[in-house]
Structure 1
Amino acid sequence: MKDLARFESVVVRGMLLGIFVTGMVAEFVKPVGDALQGRTFVGGALLSLVGYVLYDAVKDLASSVERAPARSRVRSSDLPEYVRVAFDARKVDIGFLGYTGETLKEAVYERLNLLLDGNGQARDVSIRILVPDFGRPMALPSRVGPGGEPVDDPGFRNRLADLCQEYDDQLQAKIEEFEQVRGVRVTCEYRLYDGAPRDKICIFNESLVLHGLYDVSVTMRWRGERYYDPKGFQTDLSVWSLRDGADGVVMWTKHFNDLWALASVPPWRRQVPPIR
């Protein structure tokens, strides 16, 4: 199917370019114009050139709308499929707000590997990931106290911060491999928001949004103690897409961008000033 779609794209673009060249030649080379018996070649040629230039943008938009899911709710385990669809566009823009971003990182890492191998048409990839500021005292995540009350635990928070840094380092190492790939730009940035990990938001190419709530009652055992540790892999996510109208997509995209503007750069990405 992908080979067929690529062939169709080449054919359509070739036809548009052929119309443009033929029209321009017919306008300025009299024998050709006489043979085609027309006098308005420049207009048609320029129109075909506009179609040629806009073809990819129109095709990407159509793909985003046509491939938007019909379901109103999905599982977090479906996230890799949404990442795959997003990477079918030439310009990829993914925004994520959540706990550590592990599920998204794995899916993006896989798509970047495929893109490096020449499998994919993405040429401009931007990934933005918002995670909690684990450097601050928190009620969630936290240690479960004797009566079930949350007890802040710096050691547990540091463990999660280290995980986020590890995921970021893995993605940055993969992105560095694209320095040798001409015509492909890839960026990925982590930022920290102030607050508990309650919402899980995924925005794909500003045309589709997934939103859900973490189960904040989930606990795990670590070093002999129990900890409140939200798990998002089985979180139910509501779906907003352009197919259903732009209001939901616009609302969540603005909310994410506003939070992004307020977020801070993580310590592992801050520039250390030189010693004087």
Structure 2
Amino acid sequence: MDALDPDDPRPPYQQVANNLRAAILTRKFEPGEKLPSGPDLSKRYGVARMTIQQAIRILRDEGLVVSRQGSGVFVRERTERPVGLRPHLERAFEEAHVSVDFAGFSGETLHGAIAEPLDKIRAGRLRPASVSVRLLVPDPDVPWTLPATVNGMEDSPAFRKRAHGIMQRHTEAIVDTVNELGELGLVEDARAEIRSCPTVPLFKLYLINDAEVFFGYYPVQEHTVTLDGSPTAIWDLMGKDTILFHHSADANDDTIASQYVKQSRMWFDSIWNTVSGEMNR
């Protein structure tokens, strides 16, 4: 039996969900594979059938499993549908060493997803030995080709100033929280940094623990904002509800998923170590 931790403050169904999620992400259960039956899982974890049902519901909502009437519960094929960032990020913070690299426009989605695991560290419910966060955003002090005004496709300094404020609000909140965890002694090695690059990304990229990648496109849409007191139509990058596609490395370095993670790391490091620089705060 895989006994649950009696000192873990999380309810049993969350512990079971976390255990099964880890098994799926590390491919102990392969895509398309059938999970053990409810009674078998109940016996395995020493919990009630209702607890297993609640755990499976969590995994189903995350897009990791699918229930087939009369057949059972199966690990969802990776290409069937995208999955959410938040549960994977929260699971990553259960590891001893946590690394999160982000490249994108504002960091708003990451700010929302990372807040809970950082709060859990502050509350003593998670105790990673190290946390490293790197944030790569566009330089607001140089002209942009996008976003641009609808009328004339021109760069807008006023819009860049507005976007800079949004970037600061989300990215600096992440950096300050991570660094504070180190200062308080809650994480032995806590480091977070923001850098800007001279190009505006048309996508968002998250690399988690050098094992998972989430990738999503920024669609260009017309967006009217008030700049210098006047409504202005902007071709904007709208990424808050962008669908993220997930790739998870496995033991075989030659698989597409493993190569995707490896190449994403190479791309991020190449930008971070060459043309990026400290962003004015």
TM interval, shorter chain, is: 0.5 to 0.7
Alignment-derived partner of residue 227 in structure 1? 234
Alignment partner of 1:167 out of 147, 162, 170: 170
For residues 221-274 of structure 1, the C-alpha deviation after alignment (integer angstroms, 9 at most, x for no partner) is 334111122111222222221245421111111111111112111022xxxxxx
CA distance in 1 between counterparts of 2:216 and 2:98 reads 22
Using the size of structure 1 for normalisation, the TM-score is 0.68
1:167 CA drift (Å): 2.5
Q: Which has the higher contact order (CA 8 A, sep 6+)?
A: 1
CA distance in 2 between counterparts of 1:173 and 1:131 reads 17
For residues 49-85 of structure 1, the C-alpha deviation after alignment (integer angstroms, 9 at most, x for no partner) is xxxxxxxxxxxx978524995433426xx22222112
* DSSP-derived class of the 1:151 partner: coil
1:194 CA drift (Å): 1.6
What letter is aligned with 2:90? R
Alignment partner of 1:94 out of 92, 100, 111: 100
Q: Which runs of 5+ in 1 are unaligned?
A: 9-60, 269-276
1:200 CA drift (Å): 1.1
CA distance in 1 between counterparts of 2:210 and 2:260 reads 11
Alignment partner of 1:65 out of 3, 6, 26: 26
RMSD: 2.8
For the 8 Å contact 1:116–1:178, the answer to whether it is kept is no
- Structure with the larger helix share: 1
Q: Check 1:218–1:96 CA distance in 2 against 1; reply closer, same or farther (3 A cut).
A: farther
Q: Check 1:137–1:117 CA distance in 2 against 1; reply closer, same or farther (3 A cut).
A: same
Q: Which range moved further: 176-185 or 247-256?
A: 176-185
For residues 65-119 of structure 1, the C-alpha deviation after alignment (integer angstroms, 9 at most, x for no partner) is 24995433426xx222221121121111111111111110222232211111011
For the 8 Å contact 1:218–1:229, the answer to whether it is kept is yes
What letter is aligned with 1:4? L
Structure 1 position 239 matched with structure 2 position 249: no
For the 8 Å contact 2:122–2:186, the answer to whether it is kept is no
CA distance in 1 between counterparts of 2:211 and 2:6 reads 23
Matched ranges for 1:107-122 at <5 A: 107-122=113-128
Alignment-derived partner of residue 139 in structure 1? 145
For the 8 Å contact 1:168–1:190, the answer to whether it is kept is yes
CA distance in 2 between counterparts of 1:3 and 1:96 reads 36
For the 8 Å contact 2:139–2:198, the answer to whether it is kept is yes
* DSSP-derived class of the 2:26 partner: helix
1:131 CA drift (Å): 0.7
1:201 CA drift (Å): 0.8
For the 8 Å contact 1:100–1:131, the answer to whether it is kept is yes
For the 8 Å contact 1:220–1:227, the answer to whether it is kept is yes
What letter is aligned with 1:93? S
Q: Radius of gyration: which is bigger?
A: 1
Alignment-derived partner of residue 266 in structure 2? 254
1:171 CA drift (Å): 2.6
Alignment-derived partner of residue 55 in structure 2? none
Q: Which runs of 5+ in 2 are unaligned?
A: 9-21, 32-63, 65-75
What letter is aligned with 2:206? C
What letter is aligned with 2:166? L
* DSSP-derived class of the 1:107 partner: helix
* DSSP-derived class of the 1:246 partner: helix
